[in-house]
Structure 1
């Protein structure tokens, strides 16, 4: 990790300088370096001298020169730096000796964080998945790949809420709402049925009462209605898994919410919670009969959260007065199990392939759970319930586990005006985006989007010898949903999503295939340079820019894994593809002069290797040809 190496050396130089100037008590700012936009300003640069000026009572230029002298004393000039340049008002510009860098073997820091459980997707099993669900899955799966790449042991969970209101609505519809129509899949039929049922509640109040009955039956698990719910949920889950598989998304374990309730996990959690004074049953007021987790003085939740929360969540109700558990109650029990803090364990059955599910008639398997840290990928609207789970852990005294519970929040996917119009939504209000609504049947299904994108790719392709159009389509959609900053609301536009040039997944695949073609032709001509004999006589700007970017790959990987930001990898990969294409255009490789050719072939191979690594982390294919 090149930048970490340089940060370490500069930090040592700064500390040595502070000791020499007898300012040991000075708080030294954290040293940061960056790659300047202009190649003229070095391969890396630091502004630490300017940050130290006040504390050291010297001009930034003087401090920068003193730091440079320390670096030279350390031998850095003879190691990886060809020169250090001081520029007004006090920048320290570092120039890499690229021939030395080529010979170095950089590695990621050793990972000692133990086991990570990542929960993502977790779609209600009541209808087909839509593009909002797919953003969750793509983010979660990329985090899995990212953390595994840097050395973590990762277990992937998909939590199936088979006791919730959404499935209850679908079951009410299956039992009481006649609906006919042409549907290819059960989930698509339930998509329309779910919307029809919710509309029927407004004109048939007795149906809303049926929902309460169905919820009780689903929890009990002993009636014909509960069997209808289980069969519907399992069929839809299989369709969800089929949808996600098209995007390379896999899981280790499906945790059924019904297992948590029926096998006593909530009962065990309830007994633990009863031992704390923060958990009690209300005896009066609108929450009379409810079991509530009280907020401690140190854990006050901000007003904005309270306003966004539902009534029962705002008051931390875990068990409603009618005996029905809230989602949060079951989630608390689930997280206690994730950390191995309950005196119970699930039993498991194979669901398909290497995927396991929780099932009462299954076998024991102690490999699942027992996490050292937990990551939940859930959109920003679930921030309050996630906070409640963390506070429950704290109330029980599990502070370390609460500290290692991470909520990866992200903005929801909405529809652009043109996409909304295509779906028949009234856009006369002139909004910039329109929310999807399962209750109204408004949204773009995952399979529907994949079919549309596949047809677009098929029309635009000039060659059909490489990846199938469907695989390319899935890669394009996946990258589109990943490249935005996590907190950004993705305003989904069909035209934008189906573009195949610019900052797109297709652009990355073409860049990789181009590099692969060059390497293949070089091998056919027996032009395979030996790294020990590759010399750099001089560097063209395009060569240096590409080298400089490649050198930052491990730093990018490490940073993204710590910050849990998949979009960081997208940004890196897009810039790498752009810089490689610039190099390919301006610097002949196979037709280069004999003195330049070995290095350019090596650089092409290094770019291909690095881009392939990034594509793997992003869950995109690395095609030999398109």
Structure 2
């Protein structure tokens, strides 16, 4: 099926020219399976009536067995209707995952080089994950899942900053016995209660500030009691973070620790490479005298090394990306033992694990909107250094902030100012919502709808994931606890409820011989569902092209709306059209199952 080609032929035969054919998916079946505004596009250029142009194009449209009719509607749209037998057979093909993979790869416009490194999550080792981290995590995890489904080699990287000021602050707290850790059942519980306290104390006491700086200097010497303490703290906190990640069905392939970046002298090795490049130079005059600069195309040159010899954030990030792309020596690795008994490779200067950094051709960084400029500078820097291939395959997937609604703060007992419509998550303001507490609150709220469900934990995790994925990544989210649990809204609970309904229908079927069913006459609700089923491949394609799991979430919402309308208005078991309707149910069910895999949602067969 190639509707675009048929339209191109019709345009040419009609004597018109057009730059690009845009095919849209109408929201309602009565407007066809596809619609195009191309007549209006042409009319704008040649100053003629778009209705006349559309009628001429439809008259010259070649005959195709998969098109039942094409009609013109004001102000000049051309609506195209697929033959229902063809559409039904097309829908049945989505029962085959291999077909879905091949079709999506044919449709994608964005070419991503295989060997994809996705870096995401980035939790400071001084506190628990919060709801904002979860958004980063779920976006990154869904991208890795999508790439792997399509047969690409994709790897999830967790980068741990284990030598930052947060760790030295916690090390100081340990040394002065602030909040005795023996009173806590987890390192994270102690860190959550302690970090804000010790930070406030350091700001108010110059002696503590000096002590913290001393500890930090000892830490990055990597041969002291301060370093041993910091390493123990950061490692145990990381284990608890990874234990939580496993519970929400998120996995990583390997871990790189910032301490090993320093020990391995990644920056120093990168600096040696930079010195060999003519775009990298030392300023000998002006306010930047003594700084090492990088000549940038179409913008001011950037400081990479300050005059005191310390690399900037951009300088360190350039070095890290040169490592990612295989331009610098790899680390040694050891096994990182998770609390659940699993293990993954982790950088370790003394490690002897037989593991090597995978071949990376594309880097995807899932980082917040506020880092858009630094990310672009790193990308442009790689180009300036002559690595055009790295530049072209450097992708920043940005995302907006997560705020809380006033209603959520009321339910959670969190403070906010009168008149606030969205409340920023802030430890200082007392509005932090940890990921763990977030899921627990969702469970408690969902219990009101499903008091007897043994699956509350799975429902809560899926509700959280869907709520944080359904909004376009670059937009901010105002999370509302009540709305997230609504069974009638665009929520994970609603999607799960529909999945369980489909499962119940299929369980009642006496056999699965309906899989070979041919089409009979379709009622309005069957036809609408069939049309939505055939939008699935486009939804995955847009997810891939735009790095937006939200497009797949929107599709699932529409599919579930169409299915529930079909379910409410069309008898299935016992009807003369039973096999046909069971097959529509089976196809819809399979689409949900695959979508759950791509988004990392938990499946629940019964609510």
| TM-score (ref. length: structure 1) | 0.87
Displacement of 1:225 in angstroms is: 1.0
Alignment of 1:84 with 2:70, yes or no, is yes
Match for residue 603 of structure 1?
A: 584
Cα distance in 2 for residues equivalent to 1:298 and 1:177 = 54
Contact 2:330 2:357 in 1 (8 A): no
- What SS does the aligned partner of 2:586 have? helix
- What SS does the aligned partner of 2:61 have? helix
- Among 306, 309, 334, the alignment partner of 1:349 is 334
Contact 2:28 2:528 in 1 (8 A): no
- What SS does the aligned partner of 1:71 have? coil
Cα distance in 2 for residues equivalent to 1:35 and 1:294 = 47
Displacement of 1:502 in angstroms is: 1.6
- What SS does the aligned partner of 2:244 have? helix
Displacement of 1:276 in angstroms is: 3.6
Q: How does 1:247-396 map to 2 (within 5 A)?
A: 247-276=248-277, 278-280=279-281, 291-294=291-294, 296=296, 298-300=298-300, 316-318=303-305, 321=308, 325-342=311-328, 344-352=329-337, 353=342, 355-363=344-352, 368-396=357-385
Q: How does 1:72-221 map to 2 (within 5 A)?
A: 72=62, 75-76=63-64, 78=65, 80-104=66-90, 105=93, 107-109=103-105, 113-176=113-176, 178-180=178-180, 183-221=184-222
Pair 1:527–1:414, CA change in 2 (3 A): closer
Please report the RMSD computed on the Cα atoms of aligned residues, expressed in angstroms. 2.7
- Among 492, 497, 513, the alignment partner of 1:510 is 497
- What SS does the aligned partner of 1:84 have? strand
- What SS does the aligned partner of 2:298 have? helix
Displacement of 1:95 in angstroms is: 0.7
Pair 1:171–1:277, CA change in 2 (3 A): farther
Cα distance in 2 for residues equivalent to 1:423 and 1:534 = 53
Contact 1:126 1:232 in 2 (8 A): no
Match for residue 569 of structure 2?
A: 586
Displacement of 1:416 in angstroms is: 2.7
Contact 1:195 1:440 in 2 (8 A): no
Pair 1:210–1:500, CA change in 2 (3 A): farther
Q: How does 1:442-481 map to 2 (within 5 A)?
A: 442-464=431-453, 468-481=455-468
Pair 1:440–1:41, CA change in 2 (3 A): closer
Cα distance in 2 for residues equivalent to 1:391 and 1:452 = 43
Cα distance in 1 for residues equivalent to 2:426 and 2:280 = 35
Pair 1:161–1:553, CA change in 2 (3 A): same
Pair 1:194–1:477, CA change in 2 (3 A): same
Contact 2:127 2:188 in 1 (8 A): yes
Per-residue CA distance 1:574-600 (angstroms, 9 max, x = gap): 1111111110000110131x2x22211
Q: How does 1:534-573 map to 2 (within 5 A)?
A: 534-537=518-521, 539-573=522-556
Contact 1:556 1:568 in 2 (8 A): yes
- What SS does the aligned partner of 1:612 have? helix
Contact 1:191 1:441 in 2 (8 A): no
Contact 1:130 1:444 in 2 (8 A): yes
Cα distance in 1 for residues equivalent to 2:594 and 2:167 = 40
Displacement of 1:220 in angstroms is: 2.3
Contact 1:577 1:611 in 2 (8 A): no
Displacement of 1:492 in angstroms is: 3.0
Match for residue 96 of structure 2?
A: none
Cα distance in 1 for residues equivalent to 2:373 and 2:168 = 24
Cα distance in 2 for residues equivalent to 1:442 and 1:184 = 23
Q: Which runs of 5+ in 1 are unaligned?
A: 302-314
- What SS does the aligned partner of 1:299 have? coil
Contact 1:36 1:45 in 2 (8 A): yes
Alignment of 1:411 with 2:400, yes or no, is yes
Contact 1:337 1:369 in 2 (8 A): no
Pair 1:11–1:187, CA change in 2 (3 A): farther
- What SS does the aligned partner of 1:623 have? coil
Match for residue 309 of structure 1?
A: none
Cα distance in 2 for residues equivalent to 1:559 and 1:588 = 34
Displacement of 1:617 in angstroms is: 1.3
Displacement of 1:463 in angstroms is: 4.1
Match for residue 593 of structure 2?
A: 612
Cα distance in 1 for residues equivalent to 2:89 and 2:457 = 41
Alignment of 1:35 with 2:16, yes or no, is no
Match for residue 508 of structure 2?
A: 521
- What SS does the aligned partner of 2:104 have? coil
Contact 1:194 1:438 in 2 (8 A): no
Displacement of 1:317 in angstroms is: 5.0
Name which of structure 1's ranges 446-455 and 557-566 shifts more when overlaid on structure 2.
Answer: 446-455
- What SS does the aligned partner of 1:488 have? coil
Pair 1:435–1:477, CA change in 2 (3 A): same
Displacement of 1:40 in angstroms is: 2.4
Displacement of 1:187 in angstroms is: 0.9
Contact 2:488 2:494 in 1 (8 A): yes
Per-residue CA distance 1:202-225 (angstroms, 9 max, x = gap): 310222223333333333212111
Name which of structure 1's ranges 45-54 and 101-110 shifts more when overlaid on structure 2.
Answer: 101-110
- What SS does the aligned partner of 1:608 have? helix
Per-residue CA distance 1:115-151 (angstroms, 9 max, x = gap): 1111110111122111111111011111111222333
Cα distance in 2 for residues equivalent to 1:448 and 1:152 = 35
Pair 1:293–1:124, CA change in 2 (3 A): farther
Contact 1:348 1:363 in 2 (8 A): yes
Pair 1:50–1:359, CA change in 2 (3 A): same
Q: Which runs of 5+ in 2 are unaligned?
A: 94-98
Contact 1:29 1:48 in 2 (8 A): no
Cα distance in 2 for residues equivalent to 1:48 and 1:226 = 66
Displacement of 1:382 in angstroms is: 1.4
Alignment of 1:625 with 2:598, yes or no, is no
Contact 1:316 1:388 in 2 (8 A): no
How many correspondences in the alignment?
A: 588
Pair 1:611–1:460, CA change in 2 (3 A): same
Match for residue 243 of structure 1?
A: 244
Contact 2:88 2:530 in 1 (8 A): no
Cα distance in 2 for residues equivalent to 1:546 and 1:442 = 43
